[in-house]
Amino acid sequence: MLRSALFAIFCLALVIVFQAGPAHALECNDQNPDYCSKCEDLDKAYKGKDINSILVRGRSVWTPLYAAYFRDCPKIAVRYLELGANPAVGGMEGDMLATVISWDRWEVEQRALWVKMLVLAGARLDSPPITKRTTRERLMQEYGKRDDIMALIKVAEQNGG
């Protein structure tokens, strides 16, 4: 009986400790942009922040531009690009264009709009490598000639990328 009472007190203490943790940890902000559920929230999270700020989590490089792509907020992305966001940096291993082309998070038509936006802002398939490979090399080595990849590479090439 005493043992179960002590166990219950221990469990209650753990609950209190975990509830008292920092409330901001899972809130939408520039350190947790993936918790932003709406474009407006994402925009507020980066208001007044460096438009080329970088937050690395594992293999993902979070920039305001990548967060806009992650949440599919093209109007915000256009504004970030107009403010000087680097169109080449963000996403997996920091290669924004490769991320948009390869990640089938959205249908090809929607990804094509993002590819065009990034290329018109200066992202290139054959730019000097970000991580020892150009975007084109990364795509071919990791994904091969997948139909969606080839279609999106063509979109990039047709728009000067």
- Is the model's pLDDT at 8 over the cut of 80? no
Q: How far is CA 161 from CA 43, 88, 101, 126, in A?
A: 27, 11, 12, 8
* Residue 116, C-beta contacts closer than 8 angstroms, at least 6 positions apart: 155, 156, 159
Q: Between 10 and 49, where is the model more confident? A: 49
Question: What's the pLDDT score for residue 14?
Answer: 43
Is 50 exceeded by the pLDDT of residue 125?
Answer: yes
Percent of the chain scoring above 70 in pLDDT: 84
One-character DSSP codes across the chain = -HHHHHHHHHHHHHHHHHHTS-GGGGSSSTT-GGG--SHHHHHHHHTTS-TT--EEETTEEE-HHHHHHHTT-HHHHHHHHHTT--TTB-EETTBHHHHHHH-TTS-HHHHHHHHHHHHHTT--TTSSPSSSS-HHHHHHHHH-S-HHHHHHHHHHHHTT-
* Average pLDDT for the chain: 87
Task: Determine the Cα–Cα distance for residues 50 and 48; give it in Å rounded to an integer.
Answer: 7
- Assess contact for 152 and 115: CB atoms under 8 A: yes
pLDDT band at 1 (very low <50, low <70, confident <90, very high): low
Q: Angle at CA 71, nearest 5°, toward 103 and 109? A: 50
Mean pLDDT of 104-132: 92
Whole-number pLDDT of residue 25? 58
Please say if the pLDDT value at position 28 is more than 50: yes
Smallest CA-to-CA distance from 122 within 109, 131, 110, 135 is with 135
Specify the pLDDT at position 129.
74
Residues 33 and 61: their CA atoms lie apart, in Å, by: 12
Asked if the model's pLDDT at residue 20 lies above 80, the reply is: no
